[in-house]
Structure formats: structure tokens, C-alpha cells
Structure 1
Amino acid sequence: MKKQFVVIGLGRFGSSVASTLLSQGHEVLVIDRDMSKVDPFMSTATLAVQADATDESVLKELGIRNYEHAIVAIGEDIHSSLLVTLLLKEIKVNTVITKAKDDRHGKMLSKIGADRVVYPERDMGERLAHHLGSNNLIEHIRLSREYDIIEITAPKTFVNKSVDALSKMTKKKMTVIAIKKGDGVDISPHPDSKIEQHDILLIVGEKSLLSKLEQET
């Protein structure tokens, strides 16, 4: 289903988000103070505007309240990031997602009403570190402070064991939520499903346990 987004701030993160949403067929309004950053979207975005998003009258004139989701991708200018987020919430945009520079910035954004705060630089650094330090990791997703999701090649210690046996073996600190065998994927596998060599596993669990699994072969 086509959705409506406004992306404010067209640095690397904002441009990437906008381009991906457009490639998926969504309606996207892009805004930046710098015309050189707006230009690449003139022929692809639903609407591309050079404007100062900290000006409430500009946001109202552009009909921002009619957009379902707003992504505030202003990185270095914390004051502008906070002000734009606050204005979007006051205008009553349904969902406001804001990029944070650091934890302090993120806490301030949460306090003024950001529905979601993202840390692209930090998250990318963590993912890269996990990949570089792992023996079998395919993908690593941060889920919360305590839990992550990883996609790994089945470690030797898992082969010929059932999904239920693995859960019990780890005292239910992890759960196999999908198994990929060749071209087939078993979503929510049966507790008796056996893990085979070369299976790809999608696992949700405690960070400390998953970190250990990443080191196994």
C-alpha cells in the first residue's frame, strides 16, 4: 500500500531514506535548506522543496499535517532537529521519526515527543563490528537494550538438535524463529524441527548469548 512520507534533511542518511521510499512506490516530499541537495530529487520525488523546516509557516503551507510519516534527518544541528520535531508533533503528523547524533540528543528528542529515535551512525558501527568479529554472522539487528536478532549459519553444536532442544539448552534465552534450508524458509518452525548442517537460522535472544553464538563455527 502506498504511503505518504516527508523527509527533512537530505544528507547521506536522509537522501538514502528518501530514495529507498521512492523506489518502493511511496509518495515522498523532500525538504532541505540547500538547493544542491534538493536538485537530485526534482524529477523523482513527489515534491522537492528548498525551505527552512524550522519555520512553522513553511510546514503548514506545504500541508505537512496531511503526511502520515515524517523523517527528520537533520544530523549535526541539534537545535534545528529538536525544533522541527516539536513543530511536526504540534502540527499532529501521525508518526515522527528523528535521527539523533548521540544518546543525549536522543533523550531530548524522546522527551519532546519523537515517536522513534534512530542512531544510524552508531547502529552501522555496531553492525560492522559484529560482522568483523564473527565467524558465522550474516546479519545482526538491534532489537532492544537486552535483545537482538541475528541471522547465522548453524553452528556445529546446533546440528541434529531440535528447535525445542536448543531453547531448553540455552534456558529459553534464545528462540529460533525461522530456518532457511536451500531456497525454502520455515517460519515459526515446529519445536521438533531438526537443525541440519548449512541451515541458516534467524534467532532472537539475549545479547550476551547471541554474541557467543557469533563466535562459533
Structure 2
Amino acid sequence: MLASLFTEQFSFSKGDSAVVIGLGRFGSSVADALTRLGHDVMGIDRDPELVQVWADMLTHAVQADSTNVNTMRQLGVADFSHAIIGIGSDLSASLMTLMALTELGIKDIWIKALTPEHGKIARRIGAHHVVSPEADMGERVAHLITARMMDFIEFDDGFAIAKIRAPESTHNQVLFDSRVREKFGVTVVGVKRAQTDFQHAVPETRILPDDLLIVSGPTRKIQQFANDTERKKDK
């Protein structure tokens, strides 16, 4: 589940390649998910047993020292579009691997941060994206518990996308009349109704009480909208 949260944040184009360094529970899950999404994935780990496990499931699986820039260059790592450092417990190896990747000129480097301090150092060294899976998942669950959200993804800039049950103030109205964007500062992107296909939302879309809405906007405003169960319709 942590890895699925991580992969949801990637902005990969179809056919992009990725190297995943560290094939423990987290890294292997990310590598597997990216493979299933159709990307070429090389997995690298020092542990020959882990490499053997994933040898038939990834495009390439290699036993190597990822902290050695010459080894990484010989493996062709510089040719990959994206790099994900999922090293699970060795802070030094994680940062040394990051330095090797920056020296190779990788344009998009993601790193799993073991601590907040690790994340800060990683950004200074050259990581383009820092992810703290456990903390991110904890915040996600908190949002799901405290609001009427069924699913929730938040991005780095405080912008989020969520799936929620239609708040009472939108029931039996078209979106234009309910003035969701004007009142709450969020956008209804789409609507899913039982036994019907997903439909993109337009001003004329009518919202029924059991509809599920896909909404986007600032996290705080989505929370307010999701919790709007008591608000009375404007007359």
C-alpha cells in the first residue's frame, strides 16, 4: 500500500524507463508496480538473493554496489529516465547512491527518506523528489478518517485530488446551480454513479444523493467541501 501511494505520484510517460535501487519490501513493490504499468525497470541490490527473486519479474535485475559511480555507469544507469532510491535502512548508502546518480546526470531522482533530516540532506545533494512513505500514508489515513473522503492523494504544493460522497448541498442540482467552485474553491472533475460509467463533470451535470465525486483543489478546501453535510441549499 505504501508503494502504491508512492507510484501514484510519478509522472511517467508511456514507455519511460526506471532504475529502482534497493529491492527490499518497498523498492521491490515500486519496481513491480512500475513493471505492471508497462515501464522498463532495472532493479539493483547488493543482496544476491533479492536479485535472484526478482530476476524473472523485472526487465533487468543486477547485483551491484550502487554507491560506486563507475559501476553504475558501466550498468548504463545514466540512460534511464527515472531513478528511485528505495534503500531501506542504510542512510550512508542511500546518500552515496544519490551522489552517484547526480554525477551521472539523472534528470528525475526520487528517494525514500528514512528520517526528516535524511530528506533535507537528500534535497540539498540533488534529489528531485523526497518521499516519506510512512508519514505520507499516516497523513492520508488521517484525512480519510476526519473527512468524508473515500480516497485522497496530496501533491507537494498542497493541491489534492479526492473521491468523496456528494455533499448534501449538491444533491439534485446541476453543478452550475450548486456553485461548488464559488463557495468552496474546489473543482468537481467527474462523477461516478452506480451501474453507470464515469462521466466528466460539466456545468450541466446533475448530482444525485448517492453519487461519488472526483474533486480537485487545495487540501483544506477539499476537506471543507467533503464535510459539508449540514449546509442548507441556498434559496
So what's the TM-score if we normalise by structure 1? 0.88
Question: What secondary structure sits across from 2:198 in the alignment?
Answer: strand
Deviation at 1:5, TM superposition (A): 1.3
Q: C-alpha distance in 2, partners of 1:70/1:30?
A: 10
1:121 corresponds to which residue? 134
Q: C-alpha distance in 2, partners of 1:68/1:146?
A: 26
2:105 corresponds to which residue? 92
Deviation at 1:216, TM superposition (A): 5.0
2:88 corresponds to which residue? 75
Q: C-alpha distance in 1, partners of 2:79/2:39?
A: 14
Deviations 1:14-47 (A, max 9, x none): 0101111222332211111122222211222222
2:154 equivalent to 1:142 = yes
Q: Over the residues paired in the alignment, what is the CA RMSD in angstroms? A: 2.0
**1:169 pairs with one of 144, 169, 183:** 183
Aligned pairs, how many?
Answer: 213
Range with bigger deviation, 189-198 or 54-63: 189-198
Deviations 1:106-150 (A, max 9, x none): 22222222122222111111222233344x322111123533221
**2:72 pairs with one of 41, 50, 59:** 59
Range with bigger deviation, 161-170 or 42-51: 161-170
Question: What secondary structure sits across from 1:60 in the alignment?
Answer: helix
1:34 corresponds to which residue? 47
Q: Letter of the aligned partner of 1:195 in structure 2?
A: I
**1:9 pairs with one of 14, 22, 29:** 22
Q: Letter of the aligned partner of 1:131 in structure 2?
A: L
Q: C-alpha distance in 1, partners of 2:31/2:100?
A: 21
Q: Letter of the aligned partner of 1:151 in structure 2?
A: K
Q: C-alpha distance in 2, partners of 1:206/1:6?
A: 32
1:24 corresponds to which residue? 37
Please say if residues 160 and 217 of structure 2, whose CA atoms lie closer than 8 Å, have aligned partners that are also in contact: yes
Q: C-alpha distance in 2, partners of 1:138/1:35?
A: 40
The unaligned stretches of length 5 or more in structure 1 are none
Q: C-alpha distance in 2, partners of 1:161/1:101?
A: 47
Question: What secondary structure sits across from 2:106 in the alignment?
Answer: coil
Q: C-alpha distance in 2, partners of 1:144/1:194?
A: 32
So what's the TM-score if we normalise by structure 2? 0.82
2:197 corresponds to which residue? 184
Change (3 A) 1:201 1:194: same
Question: What secondary structure sits across from 1:98 in the alignment?
Answer: strand
2:115 corresponds to which residue? 102
**Percent of aligned pairs sharing the same letter:** 35
